[in-house]
Structure 1
């Protein structure tokens, strides 16, 4: 029997680019699909653009996030899950695309690997119209990798059995960032989970990398860590895998790597909150907590002295 694939796409103010995404769905060589677009309260012409596709092809279905529901892509994806009819589910962002044979090949591989809960395929990254293939590395433990911020794949790479993703209860709502690793960690923690990663396959999706607003990203990453860390630690404890908590230390490293530069030295409260959070959840030791706080204090002092010395020299000249 032919399997139905549900493609779930959250959208928000995407009138200028969502056509490319929907056109990539229309071009699929595999025709047994439904495409569920869930709008997150767009204020531009996105709804009209999507409705044109729904009118032309009834495999496209449009939903809107209820105003009382939490805003964000995770909520929209969960609405999509609840309204999907497919045997399999693929999540696609509204600025990304499927290669023409994506669905055909994924369904074919699921037929060959039907005992698996999900399959994972490589993607390509598009930056300024240049495409780079993002190969997936072989790993002895993809769970440890995702816990260590070694994120081998993103939202569009897996194809899921609907029952499995439904049993997982979909995405955690309220996360501005880190939705994908949180979901994947939870999936990989399921007892006896079965999955296959096609490390040698060609890419079948294209991720469009947009320009990053670092100020906005900083706040989103900070807010997400406040939710992500206790959630993941709780899941590890429930699965009697507390010994894996130490790998989450890399998420704190990423915070300091990406956001601790001179113009952001006013992040005293956020830095302390995160250090305390990682200590409270037994990811870092008491010694490491004090070491980090002392280093950050020393860094702020040096920056203060350097700035005042510079001002002194300017005033002398």
Structure 2
């Protein structure tokens, strides 16, 4: 029986951790080790956690305490470090894991998959939105299928990962960063895993209006830049020169650029942040050789211009963008 390490971070989730943790502990699949990482919040989340696990002494549960708050990426790295399962599953402590979720993941392991991905429901205060995938196996051009085919989503939860694959490829999360999912999924996909996708709904993403993904501040912009730079490094390490990759990265940086130029986030470091975002991805010569239209090439060429010029051009364009 395959062993699953379920990684459960806890930080200031007192209002929702009970139902979330219970959904994890009440899984129908039995061979699970629970790695609960206390990331030093300032509410009574961990008191609630302790009161719950007292009634689950028959479960394999370990609590790892951070000495200081390190952020979600660091808690997931801690989980990877302490995991001893064949597979790992990340879960956010304000979401709900369907009762049969891990059993469905395990049942799907009819071959040597590096990742199994489930469908999910995004639960808003007034409505639920199912995100349904197609049952299929992807075993080549994984990054293309992720970036272009949108075969699966960037969030790292609701996916069963082979632990040996993560460790062999030295995959980890950016620490002290609130937008670490996309860079991790990007780098994992670049390692060409064998992926099994399920149409079964195995997870409920509880969307909160005060969550990281709902409220953007200067820290969020800086974290998006960290993720962008991380993915650029991955592109270099893997020699990924395909048009679809550089097009994706070129588009990814536009969101934080629009936020800054439209003054949705006010920053005293605006120019410093924009300089980091506006570095050319390709030289003029490489852009000229791209197998695409002149109009498409211009989207890359803008970033090769002097900073004041490209900032002015992009500021004008930003007025047409909804962010």
Is this a same-fold pair by TM over 0.5? yes
Return the offset for 1:197. Answer: 2.0
Answer with 1 or 2: which has the greater Rg. Answer: 1
Range 39-48 or range 233-242, more displaced: 233-242
Return the offset for 1:296. Answer: 4.5
Find the partner of 2:300 among 266, 273, 285. Answer: 285
- 1:162-206 Cα deviation digits (max 9, x unpaired): 111223434323252331111111111115x211222xx121100
Counterparts in 2 of 1:265 and 1:220: CA distance versus 1, 3 Å: closer
- TM-score for the superposition, normalised by structure 2: 0.78
Counterparts in 2 of 1:260 and 1:214: CA distance versus 1, 3 Å: farther
SS state at 2:108 partner: helix
SS state at 1:10 partner: strand
SS state at 2:102 partner: helix
CA distance in structure 2 between the aligned counterparts of 1:255 and 1:226, rounded to whole angstroms: 8
Root mean square deviation of aligned Cα? 3.2
1:236 partnered with 2:235: yes
Counterparts in 2 of 1:53 and 1:263: CA distance versus 1, 3 Å: closer
SS state at 2:201 partner: coil
Instruction: Within 5 Å, give how 1:85-104 maps onto structure 2.
Output: 85-104=84-103
CA distance in structure 2 between the aligned counterparts of 1:148 and 1:259, rounded to whole angstroms: 27
CA distance in structure 2 between the aligned counterparts of 1:141 and 1:7, rounded to whole angstroms: 28
Structure 1 partner of 2:120: 123
Find the partner of 2:312 among 290, 294, 298. Answer: 294
Counterparts in 2 of 1:258 and 1:80: CA distance versus 1, 3 Å: same
Find the partner of 1:203 among 198, 201, 204. Answer: 201
CA distance in structure 2 between the aligned counterparts of 1:141 and 1:32, rounded to whole angstroms: 33
Structure 1: give runs of 5+ residues left out of the alignment: 303-317
Instruction: Within 5 Å, give how 1:156-305 maps onto structure 2.
Output: 156-191=157-192, 193-198=193-198, 201-212=199-210, 217-243=216-242, 244-257=245-258, 260-261=261-262, 264=265, 268-269=270-271, 272-277=274-279, 279=280, 285-290=300-305, 292-296=310-314
The answer (yes or no) to whether the contact 1:9–1:37 under 8 Å persists in 2 is yes
The answer (yes or no) to whether the contact 1:54–1:62 under 8 Å persists in 2 is no
SS state at 2:116 partner: strand
Range 86-95 or range 265-274, more displaced: 265-274
Counterparts in 2 of 1:288 and 1:117: CA distance versus 1, 3 Å: same
Counterparts in 2 of 1:270 and 1:181: CA distance versus 1, 3 Å: same
- TM-score for the superposition, normalised by structure 1: 0.79
Return the offset for 1:11. Answer: 1.2
CA distance in structure 2 between the aligned counterparts of 1:19 and 1:127, rounded to whole angstroms: 19
Return the offset for 1:219. Answer: 2.1
CA distance in structure 1 between the aligned counterparts of 2:116 and 2:277, rounded to whole angstroms: 36
CA distance in structure 2 between the aligned counterparts of 1:71 and 1:40, rounded to whole angstroms: 6
Structure 2: give runs of 5+ residues left out of the alignment: 288-298
Return the offset for 1:246. Answer: 3.1
